[in-house]
Amino acid sequence: MPDRGGGPSGPRIRVGRPSRRVRTLLMTLGVLAVLAMLFVMFAGFWTDWLWYRSVDYSSVFTTTLGTKIGLFAVFGLLMAVAVGTNIWLAHRLRPPLSAMSMEQQSLDRYRMSIAPYKRWVLLAVTSLVGLVAGASAAGQWRTWLQWVNGVSFGQRDPQFHKDISFYTFDLPWYRFLLSFGFAAAVLSLIAAALVHYLYGGLRLTSPGGRATAAATGHLSVLLGVFVTLKAVAYWLDRYGLAVKSSGLKSTEGWTGLRYVDANAYLPAKTILFIIALICAVLFFATLWRRTWQLPVIGFGLMVLSAVLIGGLYPAIVQKFQVQPNEQAKEAPYIKKNITATREAYGIDGSEVTDYVGKSDLKGKSQQDKERLRAAADSTASIRLLDPNIVSPTFQQLQQVKGYYQFPSTLDVDRYKVDGKEQDTVIGLRELNINGIPERNWINDHFKYTHGYGAITAKGTTAVGEGDPAFTERDLPTKGALGKYEQRVYYGEKTTQYSIVGGPQKELDYSGDSGEKSYSYEGKSGVSLANPVNRAAYAVAFGEPQILYSGAIGDGSRILYNRTPKERVESVAPWLTIDGDAYPAVVDGRIQWIVDAYTTTNGYPYASRTTLGDSTADSLTTGQRAVVAQQNQVNYIRNSVKATVDAYDGTVKLYQWDTKDPVLKTWMKAFPGTVKAKSEISAGLLDHLRYPQDLFKVQRELLTRYHVTNPGTFYTGSERWQVPDDPTNKSGNAVPPYYLSMRMPGQPASAFSLTTTFTPKSRENLGAFMAVDADAKSSGYGKIRILKLPSETTTSGPQQVQSKFNGDPEIANKINILKRGDSEIEYGNLLTVPLDDGLLYVEPVYVRGAGSNFPRLKKVLVTYGDKTAFEDDLGKALDAVFEVKSPAPGTKPPTEGTTPPASENPTVKQAVKDAQDAFDAGQKALESKDWAAYGKAQQDLKAALDRIAKAEAAAPGGGTKPGS
């Protein structure tokens, strides 16, 4: 065969063209690969949409997605048009080709190579910059929504007298627009300069003019736009001084204007603004003058002014005016900072009271000591059950099955026990996926799907060998909580997905009569009946069995995003979530209660704090979460109380702070997502409390901002610090503690959140702080601080712990408790103000000696110089106050009196019979044995009748209950 290639003859290797079948196969595989990639992208979008629809918050998904798409499209298009137009204009203004210099000859081959593809190159460049700019703009969806929906704060800043909303909602958006304008100007300038250079409009080495008139005019206009934007930046920088962080002696996170800002930087920014405008006009004037001389002079003047006016002059003012008398110069600005910071963090209403802090029993009469002993009982309901320690005890005594678990830190709430509100420690028996006897896909995701029951115990007492006094226990649980839905499908430890409601039955619980099965009846989750849904979730979760498993059928629903924090964050991505969700039994359901915050970093003059640092303590090293690790804020409100139903995952958001403008702004952006405060039920209100993370942020700020005098604030002489936790060696801050107590001046005891302060770099007590944490209370949120004299020697928490550890008699008792393999664990060191002094109480637990879980064995009580280490709180208080109390529940006998009806043996037996009848009725009800249930009800009525007759026959009988 002749060589048809036209080249030299010789042996050649010829590669045959692929056959039609191969080409078809390759094309098919390519199409399938593209479709697979598209379906992966679609699966993420589709599953998100299905989830939001399943929780009835589809408007959050559509609003967020629509805003992102809108910002992406608008700003991506604007950037593409800006850069593309300038590239086209530079090409249009190219000079005609003339005698070619060496420089132009070297560029010619580049022009020749791109000439056939000019349109494609233009499209590629503009598409690339448009995509990058659009993606950046889409990330500003929160800024846009706040700007377009922002409401007034009704307060003005002290410098520029603008509403606070200008700094929180408007200024961030203006800064984004400015940064976008700078990016567009710079990219357009670079692109135009490259095109002018490529086509001869700019010449670097050729003889003659370096730029054509057209190129000069074009580039000058772009530089004029850039300088105009710089002028706008100078103007906005003036307002930025009100939210600028800077250093000042004795402050951290200082925000706002100082003396040098108001008297040097502020006028400098105004002057630079005017100079930049003049410089911009000179650049625009080159359209007519066609010379760079004046613009270059103007630009040089602007740079020189920025150095001299914007840098050197403020430094001179600081050095020669401020530093020689800094305290007096800065005092007015410190005052503004103090006022704004206290308002922004909600600590402006805190009440600081001088407190003696002298705990001295010397010279007191026996009658005074007895009075103090009685006051110790009435002032506080001392919580001995430490929720941070007793989780292993709950696990040992109430876990029941290995596939259940309790959180490592339990929660403190209030429940009525015997008709009286009682501080209660509560934990849910959640599913422990690692405790499943046989791990496989069916067991992990179909059979073991939920936990079971809430376990509660009295916070103030222990029973037996130091075990919790459970008020709700066993499986299924029974006790003080009554009848409620006990299944826990959503919880803090429930992180895996489950598929429920289909052909595969779930394990409900295993009791004496064997395993009981169950099929989920809630409306939660996403239906998998649709094959498209199954395919999407198979891709999204990387689990192909979802697509073809026979365990999935009609009624199957997939549950995921199952932790309370995840669910609230997803439906309200504009909220900051508290690190500690806690469960409560409300109206027959287990509800997770989640505190949520609205925050901003743009409150003028308010100092900033990093939430992760402010909320860290000895418990956040692994036991509980830290709120918003690196979020830096200077305004925070507990504006939303959220609930997540533990059975069906229903999320409800309630407006708690009705005055918060940040929440009002988000409610405008996402209408219908937050319910009115009036919709909070009475049952839910009983369990709402002041959140720990907000309290910790406030206490951190109050270490400095309890001082309102600018001079004292400047010197730092009254600064406090949060002490380290004395019960462990972590070196981290002591956590705040919930307990019911009465502060001096309070009419009655209230559920409170408390903490202590020590003076900076000292260990003696500086102050005690408590906030009314009961949401039902009219004083809810009231912060009360007892400030001890600066020269006080009242022991702080670390000193109390050291005194306890150093007492020889106590140390000997501790050594006895440590016999064998036993270990000592110190519980929360509680502080209670008492009669101008401070009472410290600390429970002591022993782990080991036959049980690998902590039991309450001793109680430490310290008041002044007196320390007691006894078996229970009553004995310890008696020892400290040197009194002898009657046995608990008894009264000194009085001649001629008759024992109360409750001590009558007949009544005691009747009460026991009533309890037995009630328990029998509940069991009959669960097994649907209606005959047994009817008999139990008859027995219950008979027992109650006997109790009533016995009480009527007792002295004083016939009185109304509670009289």
417, 458 contact by CB (below 8 A): yes
- pLDDT tens per residue, range 569-628: 999 999 999 988 999 999 999 999 999 999 999 999 999 998 888 888 877 765 555 555
Q: C-alpha angle with apex 895: 894 to 897, nearest 5 degrees?
A: 75
- Block residue for tokens 């100079």: 275
Is it the case that residue 956 has pLDDT exceeding 50?
no
Q: C-alpha angle with apex 418: 416 to 421, nearest 5 degrees?
A: 30
| 3-class secondary-structure state, position 211 | strand
Please name the residues in contact with 632: beta carbons below 8 A apart, sequence gap of 6 or more.
601, 608, 609, 610, 611
Question: Of 84-88, 290-294, 492-496, 521-525, which range is least confident?
Answer: 290-294
Is it the case that residue 150 has pLDDT exceeding 60?
yes
pLDDT of amino acid 10: 45
Cα separation values, 251 from 337, 495, 702, 713, 721, Å? 11, 42, 12, 9, 13
Q: What are phi and psi of 788, to 5 degrees?
A: -85, 155
- pLDDT tens per residue, range 680-712: 999 999 999 999 999 999 999 999 999 999 999
Q: Select the more confidently predicted residue: 113 or 794.
A: 794
pLDDT of amino acid 894: 35
The alpha carbon of 870 is separated from its chain's Cα centroid by a whole number of angstroms, namely 40
Global confidence as pTM: 0.84
- pLDDT tens per residue, range 617-654: 877 765 555 555 567 899 999 999 999 999 999 999 99
Chain mean pLDDT for the chain: 85
Closest CA to 833 of 767, 747, 783: 767
Q: How many residues make up the chain in this entry?
A: 963
- pLDDT tens per residue, range 87-117: 999 888 888 765 455 656 666 666 666 777 7
Q: How many CB atoms lie within 10 A of CB 65?
A: 16
- Give the C-alpha separation, 376 to 390, whole Å: 25
- pLDDT tens per residue, range 876-917: 999 988 887 655 444 443 333 334 444 465 666 666 677 677
The alpha carbon of 228 is separated from its chain's Cα centroid by a whole number of angstroms, namely 41
- pLDDT tens per residue, range 39-93: 777 888 899 999 999 999 999 999 999 999 999 999 999 999 999 999 999 888 8
Amino acid at 260: V
pLDDT of amino acid 703: 93
- Give the C-alpha separation, 308 to 315, whole Å: 10
The CA-to-CA distance between both ends of the chain, in Å, stands at: 122
Task: Please report, rounded to a whole number, the percentage of residues in the chain having pLDDT higher than 90.
Answer: 50
Q: Sorting pLDDT into bands at 50, 70 and 90, what band is 3?
A: very low
Q: Select the more confidently predicted residue: 104 or 731.
A: 731
Question: Of 141-155, 248-262, 429-443, which range is least confident?
Answer: 248-262
Please name the residues in contact with 803: beta carbons below 8 A apart, sequence gap of 6 or more.
795, 862, 867
pLDDT of amino acid 930: 56
According to DSSP, the β-strands at 720-721 and 750-759 are antiparallel
Alpha helices in 497-541 (DSSP H): 531-540
- pLDDT tens per residue, range 372-384: 888 888 888 888 9
For 19-47, what is the mean pLDDT? 80
Q: Sorting pLDDT into bands at 50, 70 and 90, what band is 959?
A: very low
- Give the C-alpha separation, 960 to 949, whole Å: 14
Q: Sorting pLDDT into bands at 50, 70 and 90, what band is 732?
A: confident
CA dihedral 451, 456, 459, 465 (to 10 degrees): -90
- pLDDT tens per residue, range 271-319: 999 999 999 998 888 877 767 777 788 888 888 888 888 888 888 988 8
- Give the C-alpha separation, 67 to 61, whole Å: 10
- Give the C-alpha separation, 57 to 941, whole Å: 48
Is it the case that residue 13 has pLDDT exceeding 80?
no
Is it the case that residue 947 has pLDDT exceeding 70?
no
Would you state the structure tokens that stand for residue 118, as one six-digit string? 């000019």
Is it the case that residue 225 has pLDDT exceeding 60?
yes
Q: Sorting pLDDT into bands at 50, 70 and 90, what band is 352?
A: very high
- Give the C-alpha separation, 309 to 296, whole Å: 19
Burial of 155 (0-12, 13-18, 19+ CB in 10 A): middle
pLDDT of amino acid 424: 93
CA gyration radius for the chain? Answer: 37
Q: Select the more confidently predicted residue: 652 or 124.
A: 652
